[in-house]
Copies of this chain bind each other. A is one copy, B any other.
Amino acid sequence: MAICFLSPLKAITPTTSLTTSLNPKKPNILRCNFSLPIITTTEPEPVFTSVRSFAPATVANLGPGFDFLGCAVDGLGDFVSLRVDPSVHPGELSISDISGTKNLSKNPLNNCAGIAAIATMKILNIRSVGLSLSLEKGLPLGSGLGSSAASAAAAAVAVNELFGRKLEVKDLVLAGLESEAKVSGYHADNIAPAIMGGFVLIRSYDPLELMSLQFPVEKDLIFVLVSPDFEAPTKKMRAALPAEIGMSHHVWNCSQAGALVASVLQGDLVGLGKALSSDRIVEPKRAPLIPGMVGVKKAALEAGAFGCTISGAGPTAVAVVDSEDRGVEVGERMVEAFWKEGNLKAVAMVKRLDRVGARLVGSVPR
Contact = CB atoms under 8 A, between A and B. Distances in A.
Interface of A: 27-29, 64-69, 201-204, 211, 213, 241-247, 250-251, 253-263, 265-266, 268, 270-271, 281
Contacts of A262: 201, 211, 213, 261, 265
A115 B251 CA distance: 27
A151 B202 CA distance: 40
Contact of A255 (B201, B213, B243, B259): B201
Given A242-B247, A262-B211, A265-B266, A29 B254 contact: no
Nearest to A66: B251
Contacts of A250: 245, 250, 253, 281
A289 B129 CA distance: 61
A204 to B, nearest CB: 8
A242 to B, nearest CB: 7
A211 B264 CA distance: 13
Given A258-B257, A261-B258, A265-B262, A271 B211 contact: yes
A246 B241 CA distance: 11
Nearest to A27: B268
Contact of A258 (B65, B241, B244, B268): B65
A243 B247 CA distance: 6
A219 to B, nearest CB: 11
Given A29-B268, A242-B247, A201 B258 contact: yes
A254 B64 contact: yes
B254 A253 contact: yes
The 5 closest A-B pairs by CB, nearest first: A68-B255, A27-B268, A244-B244, A258-B261, A254-B257
Contacts of A243: 246-247
A133 to B, nearest CB: 33
Given A201-B255, A266-B265, A244 B241 contact: no
A260 B260 CA distance: 12
B68 A251 contact: yes
Contact of A27 (B242, B255, B261, B266): B266
Contacts of A66: 251, 254
Nearest to A248: B67
Q: Of A69, A257, A260, which is in contact with the most chain B CB atoms at under 10 Å from its CB?
A: A257
A230 B269 CA distance: 46
Given A68-B254, A254-B254, A201 B259 contact: yes
A259 B67 contact: no
A84 to B, nearest CB: 40
Contacts of A270: 27
A277 B301 CA distance: 38
A204 B201 CA distance: 23
Given A201-B262, A250-B250, A261-B261, A271 B67 contact: no
A68 B242 CA distance: 23
A203 B247 contact: no
A241 B244 CA distance: 14
Contacts of A260: 258
Nearest to A202: B255
A307 to B, nearest CB: 14
Contacts of A202: 255
